[in-house]
Chains A and B, each alone.
Chain A
């Protein structure tokens, strides 16, 4: 079977996901839209009545929103690690899952910063960030870094889509003329000529290289918003690499979840195999080891120094009446559990790896919450005669509604994107299949020559 046939066979298999919008798709879309609408209602109340309707007050000025922001920017790392590093390492097995990774990057980078907007008391002054930027402010760095990262991620995603757009615009698909024209426009007339091949390869390599440092800068800058603040638990030199590692780690977890989700939903068992889950699982525990080391190092130094406010914070994290339960969960499910499940071969199944990834992702979200809230509750200036809600943060239903709306928007955008572009890269996966079959044919030929 030649490359063209392989491509056409793969397209035939994936075509239904692009051609049809089934009742299941409608059900997903409507359900997720309802969650988003609920969030929009909460947003309306927040704008109409002010931030008083949230749990944020004078001391705890950040809550769920900032935890969500760090979380989404973190998972956007899946794209950087899978698409960038694995692309440069030229690993064949990455090809079927590369698109999922790139989509996670772009969508999470769009959703994440929206939570910062929700934190702002005066949204009407948003443009001040651009009109009156202060280069000394980590907030300015963050705005610039995230915008640059988003642009880079979109370009990178687009580069890997061009060949598929070209196939979609030339093959017989039941998608309507208008959509075909869009594909043709987006394909830039790519016909895989020798010049085009070189240009696309060079461009993809450039983006694969450059997206990695950008991703590192983005999350380092995000960590510096905390690290450069004189607060217990934040003011730490380790925060840059700690955030970067945690981000890649959680991104890999979300990647596994997305793979499981699309594999089941679109019947992609032939392309997304156990090998992908196991390999990503290996990457995950390697990152988990680094993340666990950073976590231990961070808390050990804080605890050992016995500095007043750090001790106060550590006491809160280890107190079962306060954050002890969440802290325990964040470390057990976020560090230990992946090691046990992926480390023991008998436990290493697709389902178990997915389950442990889901728990790890949840634990990483909890960890972000534990970075933001307990520190803000540990004030450097003693608070006296203040209402308890000013010291202890409790998220209101509006904040939860907007949190779930963000998650719903993430899934919905993913779902809708998968209806427009193949979730498995057709060209690259066909290349991979062709290489595999060529290798088998060569082996057969060699064997027959040897026998002869």
Chain B
């Protein structure tokens, strides 16, 4: 999920000094806002020592959504060895938004050794849509990006970069990027040779990455523009590593086992015959 939403980043630094009777530590915090393709939000804060720029580990941070005088707690997270605290699984709807779709997120250090007045970070929401056109056998992806003005009206976003990817097994495969015009639209010619699923289905992801105002925003759509691929499962050959042992191994095994156990059987039959040939006499014949 984190990989899919790696787009815009907003870094805001806050320097704090507290004087509560014992040695205080000045801290700096930065926050990255990620709106994921499933409309969930991931917040990633980095806490460092203001003087040494060293990461501050094991510090609890509180995250809040603020509008006017209303502050709603979003959750808490503890920084790791790299000073990173991550809050994930937030629904986008849980953020308090103004009419112009801007919102404020505050970060607070919940440790008395790092007393920190709330640091606020402002972001704007963005509307990004993907559409697919095919003209004269040329396939094009159209990315339309809009934002909201102060009155809450949707307006095209000019001169914005968006990056397009197709998810593969281990990572996202970049297929290109678009730059929006005055209508907030950017177009990319789609490659014709990308393998898809059985029906040629592909997932296309568009991302705004590291944007000062919008952070990282991702959207995705599915389209049957890939080359259909059928994965035939061929039977594994007989081998050491496959479920079936090589034939020679079976033959050797069977010959050996039959050979040995046949002789055991023969001896056991002989033992039975010894019993059969027993005489009624109580005396043993000691003669040769």
Contact = CB atoms under 8 A, between A and B. Distances in A.
A193 B260 CA distance: 28
B249 A210 contact: no
A135 B285 contact: no
Given A162-B274, A191-B279, A155 B285 contact: no
Interface stretch (B123-131, B192-200, B218-226, B264-272): B264-272
Contacts of B241: 136
B231 interface: no
A135 B253 contact: yes
A14 B266 CA distance: 33
Contact of B270 (A7, A144, A202): A202
A170 B278 contact: no
A136 B245 contact: yes
A251 to B, nearest CB: 21
B286 A191 contact: no
Given A135-B245, A136-B240, A155-B268, A148 B260 contact: yes
Interface string A161-197: 0100011001000000000000000001111110110
B261 A3 contact: no
Contacts of B253: 135
A136 B249 CA distance: 8
A7 B263 CA distance: 31
B286 A188 contact: no
A102 to B, nearest CB: 15
A199 B273 contact: yes
A22 to B, nearest CB: 29
A199 B283 contact: no
A135 to B, nearest CB: 4
A207 B267 contact: yes
Contacts of A193: 277-279, 285
A203 interface: yes
Contacts of B268: 155
**Quick one: which of A166, A189, A207 has the most chain B CB within 10 A?**
A189
**Quick one: which of B278, B281, B282 has the most chain A CB within 10 A?**
B278
Contact of A148 (B250, B261, B271, B284): B261
Contact of A188 (B261, B274, B285, B288): B274
Contacts of A7: 286
B278 A191 contact: yes
A144 B257 CA distance: 9
Nearest to B241: A136
B256 interface: yes
Given A190-B274, A193-B279, A3 B286 contact: yes
Interface string A1-28: 0111001000000000000000000000
A134 interface: yes
A116 interface: no
Contacts of B260: 148, 152, 210, 214
Given A190-B278, A193-B277, A134 B284 contact: no
A2 B271 CA distance: 28
B93 interface: no
A191 B278 CA distance: 6
Contact of A189 (B264, B270, B275): B275
B287 interface: yes
Contacts of B261: 148
A3 B285 CA distance: 10
Contacts of A188: 271, 274-275, 278
A403 B68 CA distance: 77
Contact of B266 (A135, A170, A206): A206
Interface residues of A, number: 34
B277 A196 contact: yes
Interface in A313-354: none
Interface string B143-155: 0000000000000
Interface string A388-404: 00000000000000000
Contacts of B267: 155, 159, 203, 206-207
A170 B284 contact: yes
A118 interface: no
Given A134-B245, A135-B250, A217-B256, A192 B285 contact: yes
Interface string A379-421: 0000000000000000000000000000000000000000000
**Quick one: which of B249, B274, B282, B283 has the most chain A CB within 10 A?**
B274
A280 interface: no
A272 to B, nearest CB: 24
A394 B13 CA distance: 54
**Quick one: which of B246, B249, B266, B284 has the most chain A CB within 10 A?**
B284
Contact of A166 (B257, B284, B287): B284
A292 B268 CA distance: 40
A37 B30 CA distance: 66
A312 B121 CA distance: 59
Nearest to B249: A135
Nearest to A166: B284
A193 B268 CA distance: 18
Contact of B282 (A148, A170, A206, A207): A170
A195 B267 CA distance: 14
A193 B278 CA distance: 7
B263 to A, nearest CB: 5
B282 to A, nearest CB: 6
Contact of A192 (B257, B263, B275, B284): B284
A306 to B, nearest CB: 30
A189 B278 CA distance: 5
B274 to A, nearest CB: 5
Contacts of A3: 286-288
A3 B240 CA distance: 59
Contact of A195 (B249, B277, B281, B288): B277
Given A162-B274, A191-B283, 4 more contacts: A193-B277, A199-B273, A207-B267, A217-B256
21 contacts: A2-B286, A7-B286, A135-B249, A136-B249, A144-B257, A159-B267, A167-B284, A170-B282, A170-B283, A170-B284, A188-B275, A188-B278, A189-B274, A191-B278, A191-B279, A199-B277, A200-B274, A203-B267, A207-B267, A210-B263, A217-B256
Closest 7 CB pairs of A and B: A189-B278, A135-B245, A4-B286, A195-B277, A192-B285, A188-B275, A203-B270
